[in-house]
Structure formats: C-alpha cells, structure tokens
Amino acid sequence: MSEGFAVELYFDPALENQVLKAWNVLARRQISTQLIEMESRPHITLLSSPHLDPPKLESIIKNFASKQEPLALSFSTIGSFPNGGSVLFLGPTPSLALLQFHSQLCDALKKENVDIGEEYRPDSWVPYCSVAQEVPKNRMAEAFSVLRDLKLPVTGYAMDIGLREVEY
C-alpha cells in the first residue's frame, strides 16, 4: 500500500456526535469497528490522492478555510457504493452551498496546479460520510436497519477543513 493525503471537511461537535453515535451502535453490534479502531474523525472527503504535496496543500487549505463561513449540512440518506459494497455512509443533501464550496476549493487548488483526481472533480464528486467500513455481506441488511433508526435527517454545520494521511 502507498500513502497519500485526503482533504476532509469536519463537522460541529453536535453533528459529529450524531455520526459517532452511528459508529458506536454498529460497533456494539459487532458489525463494523474499523473507523473507531483507526481513530478516524467523522468527515466528508473533499479530495484524496497519493500525489498531493502536504506543505503546499496545507497552505492552500488554510487560506481557503480562513475565508469560509460555517456550512449547513443535512444528512438525509443512507447508502453504499455498488463497487465498494462493504462501506455504508450517510449522504448529505447536495445543497447548492455544499456543491459551490467544493467547486471553489477545487478552483483554488487548480490555480496552484494541484491535480484533482477524476472522482473528486466538481462534475463527478459524490459527497458522503462513512459510518461503517468492511461490513460483512451477510450483515449489510442489519447494518442498514440499524442506521434507519437514526431518525434522519441529522443536521449541523461543517466547521473546519483538514489534511489527513491515508493509505491507498
């Protein structure tokens, strides 16, 4: 495995706690503990790549973040990806503000010649917040059922942007 970096959008404490509640319920039922074990933090990945230059990226992100207001978020759906069926996520309502925020970040990165991978470009980015990884196929229906008890939507604000090292 190689290492890269992800630019992540973090939530206000109340929204973060709602997501952590989902992680903990799934962990107690022994469906998925990976996000807790890796000491992740609830987030939406804005972009990720094995080819990012951390010092350059930190400078761009810090400058971009300093100009932003808290961003309203509403997680209104539960989902999984067809080609990565072992991940469950909460999907935010794709508000114009969220899509513009992501697009403006991409523009700021492009101006500094930072390459943005295809899946994170504004016309193909799918925002989501992972709540479980490596869910066994035979437990997927149970995991969905547990998440339905969250009483969606859960709402709050995106408050911060961070850079995190990830494995590919």
pTM comes to 0.93
The closest of 95, 78, 92 to 22, measured between CA atoms, is: 78
* Residue owning tokens 């490596």: 134
Give pLDDT tens digits for 71-121: 999 999 999 988 766 999 999 999 999 999 999 999 999 999 998 989 999
Please state the domain count of the chain: 1
Question: Which residues are CB-contacts of 55 (< 8 A; sequence separation ≥ 6)?
Answer: none
- What number of other Cβ atoms are within 10 A of residue 154's Cβ? 21
* CATH code of the domain in which 81 resides: 3.90.1140.10
Q: What is the percent of the chain where pLDDT is above 70? A: 97
SS3 per residue for 20-75: HHHHHHHHHCCCCCHHHHCCCCCEEEEEEECCCCHHHHHHHHHHHHHCCCCEEEEE
Name the residue range of residue 23's domain: 3-167
| Most trustworthy range by pLDDT among 50-54, 71-75, 109-113, 148-152 | 71-75
